[in-house]
Amino acid sequence: MIRVETIWLAVEPLDMRAGTETALARVVKVFGQARPHHAYLFANRRANRLKVLVHDGIGVWLAARRLHQGKFAWPQHQGGTLSLSRAQLDALVLGLPWQRIGEAGVITLL
């Protein structure tokens, strides 16, 4: 399996016709560089498809996922990037509200 240490999400949409070279160019443009063992996620404008580019230290892998119903819970603000935990990534690719996982979903006694 491919080792992934850090997961990044780009807020701006990516044309899903983009191949490996175009996706890699977008990673470098948005994140400044493609680091080994980092995953970079992009969605299309409708947020029903996503692509993830992973640099494994030797080369890059590009994978795509499409939801047949609904859409991915994608941030709406313009520009920027976010870092995700593994649990948040697992929820995101299933189309679940990943923003509620982790510290954002903690319930405390008032």
Q: What share of the chain is helix, strand, coil (3-state, %, to 5)?
A: 25, 25, 50
Owning domain of residue 84? 6-105
Whole-number pLDDT of residue 78: 64
The whole model's pTM is what?
0.84
How many angstroms separate the CA atoms of 82 and 8, rounded?
Answer: 6
92 in any annotated domain:
yes
77 in any annotated domain:
yes
Whole-number pLDDT of residue 63: 94
Predicted confidence pLDDT, tens digits, the chain (110 residues): 788 999 999 988 999 999 999 999 999 999 999 999 999 999 999 999 999 999 999 999 999 999 999 898 888 766 678 888 888 888 888 888 888 887 655 555 65
Q: Please give the tally of structural domains in the chain.
A: 1
Whole-number pLDDT of residue 50: 94
How many angstroms separate the CA atoms of 93 and 36, rounded?
Answer: 21
